[in-house]
C-alpha cells in the first residue's frame, strides 16, 4: 500500500509539472485602441487568428459602434464576434458563459462604466469574466474597458462631476483613463487619492497602457512617445505623481 501511495504521489507530481501554467492577462489603455493595440493583443493570445469578442455594453450596445468594430476587424487577422447584453432568448441560443469562455480575447470599449458593471452583475457576466481571466483568455479594453478590471476607477458615469465607480476588482487599486485629455481628470484624481476617496493607482494618457500578468504589472506601454502612464499615490501626506516610462509599441 505504501509503494502504491508513493507511485500515486509521483504521478500527481509529474502531471503537475507537465501541465503548462496559465498566465492571466489584462491589457488596458487610457482611451486609444487602434491597429497598434490590436496587433499587440493578437500577439498576446498566441494564436494566428484569435477569436476576439467585442462587448459594447458600456455604450448600450450601440449599433454604429458595432458596425465600426466589424468593419475594422476585416483588416485584422482575427475571428471577430460581438456579444450584446441587450438581447432576447429567441435570438441568442448560447449562454453568456458558453460564448465568452470560447474566446481567445474579450475586448471592452468605452461608455458608461457604472451602468455596464450593473448590467454585468445582473446577468452574472462579472463571474463569467473572472472565469475567462482565470482560464487565460486575454481581457482588454480602453476607457470604461480599462476601469472595469480594477477595484475602482475615476469615471464620468454620474451627473455633474467625475466620481469613483466600484468595479470587478481583478486588479488592485484604481485607475483614471483620459488622464490628460481633460483639464480636470488629473487634478480630480490626485485630490481624491489624497483625501482617500479613491484608492491609489494609475493615470493613463489616451495612447498609453498597462499589461498585467497575474494581477501584477508586466509592461508599461504606449503607442507614441508623448503618452505616459503615471503612478499616483500618497507619501508623507503629499500626493505623488510618478512617471512610468513606457515601451513604445508599433
Residues marked as catalytic? 143, 178
CA distance 142 to 148: 9
Question: Which pLDDT value is given to residue 183?
Answer: 82
- pLDDT tens-digit series, residues 159-177: 999 999 999 999 999 999 9
Alpha helices in the chain (DSSP H): 2-18, 35-45, 63-73, 96-100, 113-123, 125-135, 144-147, 185-195
Which of 204, 172, 188, 214 is CA-nearest to residue 24? 214
Question: Which pLDDT value is given to residue 250?
Answer: 92
Measured at the CA of 51, the angle between CA 122 and CA 115, to 5 degrees, comes to: 25
Count of C-beta atoms within a 10 Å radius of residue 23: 11
Count of C-beta atoms within a 10 Å radius of residue 124: 12
Question: Which pLDDT value is given to residue 3?
Answer: 52
Which of 105, 186, 176, 106 is CA-nearest to residue 143? 176
Question: Which pLDDT value is given to residue 4?
Answer: 52
State how far the alpha carbon of 99 is from the alpha carbons of 69, 84, 110, 194, in Å.
18, 11, 21, 41
CA distance 58 to 63: 12
Question: Which pLDDT value is given to residue 5?
Answer: 52
Question: Which pLDDT value is given to residue 145?
Answer: 98
CA distance 245 to 195: 26
Specify whether domain 22-248 bears CATH 3.40.50.880.
Answer: yes
CA distance 72 to 155: 27
Which of the residues in the chain have pLDDT under 70?
1-19
Length of the chain: 250
Q: Tell me the β-bridge partners of 216.
A: 213
Amino acid at each position: 500500500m505504501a509503494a502504491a501511495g508513493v507511485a500515486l504521489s509521483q504521478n500527481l507530481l509529474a502531471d503537475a509539472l507537465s501541465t503548462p501554467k496559465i498566465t492571466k492577462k489584462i491589457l488596458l489603455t487610457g482611451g486609444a485602441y487602434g491597429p497598434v493595440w490590436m496587433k499587440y493583443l493578437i500577439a498576446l493570445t498566441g494564436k494566428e487568428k484569435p477569436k476576439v469578442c467585442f462587448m459594447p455594453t458600456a455604450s448600450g450596445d450601440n449599433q454604429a459602434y458595432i458596425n465600426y468594430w466589424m468593419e475594422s476587424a476585416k483588416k485584422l487577422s482575427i475571428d471577430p464576434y460581438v456579444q450584446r447584453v441587450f438581447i432576447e432568448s429567441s435570438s441568442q441560443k448560447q449562454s453568456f458563459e458558453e460564448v465568452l469562455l470560447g474566446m481567445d480575447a474579450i475586448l471592452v470599449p468605452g461608455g458608461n462604466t457604472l451602468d455596464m458593471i450593473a448590467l454585468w452583475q445582473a446577468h452574472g457576466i462579472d463571474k463569467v469574466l473572472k472565469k475567462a481571466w482565470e482560464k487565460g483568455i486575454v481581457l482588454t479594453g480602453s476607457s470604461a474597458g480599462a476601469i472595469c478590471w480594477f477595484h475602482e476607477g475615476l469615471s464620468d458615469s454620474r451627473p455633474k462631476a467625475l466620481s469613483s465607480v466600484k468595479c470587478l476588482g481583478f486588479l488592485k487599486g484604481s485607475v483614471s483613463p483620459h488622464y490628460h485629455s481633460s483639464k480636470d481628470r488629473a487634478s480630480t484624481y490626485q485630490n481624491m487619492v489624497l483625501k482617500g476617496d479613491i484608492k491609489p493607482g494609475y493615470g493613463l494618457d489616451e495612447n498609453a497602457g498597462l499589461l498585467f500578468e497575474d494581477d501584477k504589472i508586466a509592461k508599461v506601454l504606449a503607442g507614441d512617445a508623448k503618452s505616459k502612464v503615471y503612478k499616483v499615490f500618497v507619501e508623507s501626506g503629499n500626493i505623488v505623481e510618478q512617471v512610468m516610462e513606457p515601451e513604445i509599441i508599433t
